[in-house]
Structure 1
Amino acid sequence: MNSVDALCITVLSNNINITKEIIKQVKEKDQDIFVVIGGPHCNIFPKKSLEETGADICVQGDGEKAILDIRNELNNEHVFSEISGVFYKLKHEIKSGRHYKLIKNLDNIPFPARHLIKKYNYGRFFNKSFKKGEFTTILTERGCSSDCRFCSQCVVNLNQYRTRSANNILDELKDLTKTEYKHIGIMDDNFLADKKKANYIFDNLIKEKINLNLYLVGSHINSADEKLYFKMKKAGVIYMHYNLISGDQSILDFYNTKTTIGDIRQTINLSHDIGFFTSGTFFLGAPTETLQKINNTINFSKSLPLNKILFTPLRYIAGSNLWFKAVDEEKILKNEYYIPADSRKNLSDFTIKELYQYCKKAQNSNYYRPKYFINLLKFFSKKKRIKF
């Protein structure tokens, strides 16, 4: 840290305590290191984030312009009042700069300077078999076009949904073909929301023979389309992940997913038939969930041709509809930002221990089946390029 002038940290609601500890240790080592925080949690609670973490300045909204303005002031007079979207400390008081201004055209943002992180192997968080320089990620949107009750994406993106143009996305993918990166994770919540744009992108990937392995980590059930999926397969998509949420229609309706059990079955079957490695996540512990509904979800999951299945207890995430409602009902404190469903807080009919047990039961009942292993072996025997 001896050569560091400033430290920038992205703050998520589930890592706020880790952020506090990092800043505490940094300040103990060198009080003069200037700490900047930003990210999803800061978008919801900018002033509070600054108070709780001990950082020097907090950025609300897009950080690309603000961080340059902050850097310029650190080299000059340390006057932050004219910078958009910042909260800062001045004589032990928290002041704010100008109101944040979101970047309207995301195409104006330069592509990431990936050469600066080549020495790090971030790909291992996605897959332990990836080596340095093999895997990277891209984002093509900010916000989400859906509004599910358990999710905070709309609020943390300040209730504005913005996307990059198809040509801008293609330009970045073309740039990546000039590097060692061969595996690309598309990290959007729903990359296929605009099917016209998606078709254009995949048409051009095929036409220009762009050779990349693409992993879609966020795909909405209702975005499935047979013609588009065939095109995606030809263009290099090998992995599709879906938030399936539940195998009980009443729970899907409670979460405002705007999907049906039939939609899920149709989409997962299509994804499997096309030949994608198909992954799905289910949540257990909704306030209206009963043991029968949990069993409905477990049984439903076993009827789907999924290559990977994850069951996890529901979390009440700061910024989500469920979190705000629980705070209003005084079931959650305002400084409890990432809380698992638990009957002891009247957030579920089950304790968190019971929910973990049901999740384990669900995982085991899916994976310890001869049919599952046979299907997985068949899948990998046909796929040479996939690394999982």
Structure 2
Amino acid sequence: MRFLLIYPPTEPYFIQKTKARSFYGLSPPLSLLYIAKILENNGDAVTILDYSTKIFNEQTFFKMIDVADAIGMTIISPSLNEVKKIIELIKRHSPDIPIIIGGPHCTLRPKETLEETGAQISVQGDGEVVIQDITKALKGEKALTDIHGITFQTPQGIKCNPLAPIISNLDTIPFPARHLLKHSIYGREYNPLLKAGEFTAVITSRGCPYHCRFCSRSSITMQQYRIRSNDNIIAELNEIKEQGYRHVAFVDDCFPIYKKQTIKLFETLKNEGLDLNYSVTATRVDMADQELYKKMRRAGVTHLQFGLESGNQDVLDFYDKKTTIKMIQRAVHLSHETGFFTIGSFIFGAPFETKEQFQQTLSFAKSLPLDSVSFLPLRYMVGSDLWNEAVAEEKITEKEYIVLADKQRELGQYSAEELLKFCMNAQYSFYARPTFFIHLLKKSLHNNDMSFMKSFLSTVFSTMK
């Protein structure tokens, strides 16, 4: 069979016909690349459209549909509205082509997603095994009613099958089919000079053992945390090197978790001499360790990104971060001293949080040796504890999957517009300091590595897109 797999845009901007500029994605969609590899191993042909890297063109889109036997699409909650538009176009052009959806949003709301999008089949949980059974069903070799892990349309209505078992041994999953997106540009937030085929990502685990109240990852991964072996990770990184990549991002929900295993991993990577650069897109301050950081830096890690969230202990406790202000200070300083480009993200908008507390967080951020920051409004995300509580209290409805901490909804102290303005002003205030630019220049010169300055400029310009 011929499959067209689509990574949809998360913003309406990307699905316009009039824009004529080049785009690059933050990171390739590993979920689709894993599915693509399974399909290719079974003899199927696969094409991937990643709309984080290109502009939607209706004529080209229809041509690709015309040569496909089935469409697959991953859905995250922020992309749901754009997915609806894409599926509407598909149905108008080719009403009989099967449409299969999966991804985080489908795992959280399988029946509702089918109802809202009109797709035929929704996959919950790990898709690598399920997609093989779905392919058999499309070929008439198996009944959809016999496939665990899916919800599907029938003439009598939507039917929900039992969940499929999770893949307990992640080492059994073939490596992603990266060649399908080798022509796309990713990672310029880390280095603006990266070209197509030079940046990719790996994931060494699935799930997260923590339960921050604003996050839905635990629900998406069914409260399960699984890790790959070092041997399996190293084998994939060797393949990545052979494919010509230069920079690799570890995109786990949280990395690392186990100190001893991670130290051994980076010791081996150093000894292997792969000559790759690495970024860590999500790490915790309570994982900071001098020995570990030194091993990571020597192996080629250049960037660490922390979810810091707040400079107020009561806000950290409300989010159930299980971190302290002192932990944050220690981790960020250790990251800086080790030589990493250190990124921190903060959240404004806890229900009791005042503008004075926003200012305290901003002042706290300025006191840290951070090389890049983001200040984001609190969002009540479907599947998170905060979202579940707000639904139970009837402050939001079950059909509202992402809601800003808005005073009018009794979710915060300020309106959504005020909250967004606080975030934008904080971002500007942080970067507008001459002392910040001097700090970053000194760091670049000290490390004899101007990529830090390039990363800063790339990050700033990416926020202006």
TM tier relative to shorter chain: over 0.9
Residue segments in structure 2 that go unaligned for 5+ positions in a row: 1-64, 456-465
Whether contact under 8 Å (2:444, 2:451) holds in the other structure is no
2:334 pairs with 1:270: yes
Partner of 1:4: 68
Alignment of 1:1-388 (within 5 A): 1-77=65-141, 79-124=143-188, 128-381=192-445, 382-384=448-450, 388=455
**2:332–2:369 Cα contact (<8 Å) kept:** yes
Letter in 2 for 1:368: A
Runs of 4+ in 1 over 3 A off after TM superposition: 122-129, 384-387
What is the CA deviation profile of residues 221-269 of structure 1, one whole-angstrom value per residue up to 9, with x for unaligned ones? 1000011111110000000000100000000000000000000011001
Structure 2: distance between partners of 1:281 and 1:297: 11
Alignment partner of 1:185: what SS?
Answer: strand
Q: Render the CA deviation track for 1:10-42: whole Å, top value 9, x for unaligned.
A: 111111111111111111110111110011111
Deviation of the 1:125 alpha carbon: 6.9
**AA aligned opposite 1:348:** G
Quote the Cα distance in structure 1 between the aligned partners of 2:334 and 2:199: 27
Question: Aligned partners of 2:92 and 2:142: how far apart in 1?
Answer: 22
Secondary structure of 2:208's partner? Answer: coil
Q: CA distance change for structure 1 residues 128 and 24 in 2, over 3 Å: closer, same or farther?
A: farther
CA distance in 2, matches of 1:319, 1:145: 15
Distance in 2, matches of 1:346 and 1:385, equals 44
Q: Offset at 1:140? A: 1.1
Mapped to 2, the partners of 1:385 and 1:352 lie a distance apart of 36
Question: Matched residues in 1 for 2:407 and 2:251: separation?
Answer: 33
Shift of 1:176: 1.1
- Shifted more, 213-222 versus 349-358: the winner is 349-358
Q: Structure 1 residue 274: deviation in Å?
A: 0.7
Counterparts of 1:121 and 1:23 in 2: how far apart (Å)? 26
Instruction: Provide the aligned C-alpha RMSD in A.
Output: 1.4
Tell me whether 132-141 or 376-385 shows the greater mean CA deviation.
376-385
Cα 1:92–1:31 change in 2 (3 A) is farther
Indicate conservation of the 8 Å contact 2:207/2:225, yes or no. yes
Alpha-carbon displacement from aligned partner over 1:78-100 (angstroms, at most 9, x marks no partner): 62111110111111511233432
Instruction: Please give the secondary structure, in 1, of the residue aligned with 2:345.
Output: strand
**What displacement does 1:124 show?**
4.8
User: Deviation at 1:317?
Assistant: 0.5
Partner of 2:370, secondary structure, is coil
Q: How far is 1:77 from its partner?
A: 5.0
State how far apart, in whole Å, the 2-side matches of 1:134 and 1:153 are: 29
Amino acid at match of 1:187: V
Q: Which moved more, 1:75-84 or 1:233-242?
A: 75-84
Structure 2 CA distance for aligned equivalents of residues 361 and 185 of structure 1: 29
CA distance in 1, matches of 2:292, 2:277: 17
Amino acid at match of 1:76: G
Cα deviation code 1:134-179 (max 9, x no counterpart): 0001111111011100000000111111111121111111111111
Cα distance between partner residues in 1 of 2:187 and 2:99? 27
User: For structure 1, which runs of at least 5 residues remain unmatched after alignment?
Assistant: none
**Deviation at residue 121 of structure 1 after TM alignment:** 2.3
Q: Which amino acid aligns with 1:212?
A: L
| Matched letter for residue 383 of structure 1 | D
Count of residue pairs the alignment pairs up: 388
Q: State how far apart, in whole Å, the 1-side matches of 2:362 and 2:451 are.
A: 31
- Return the offset for 1:122: 3.7
Equivalent-residue separation in structure 2 for 1:383 and 1:240 (angstroms)? 16
Distance 1:70 1:130 in 2: 37
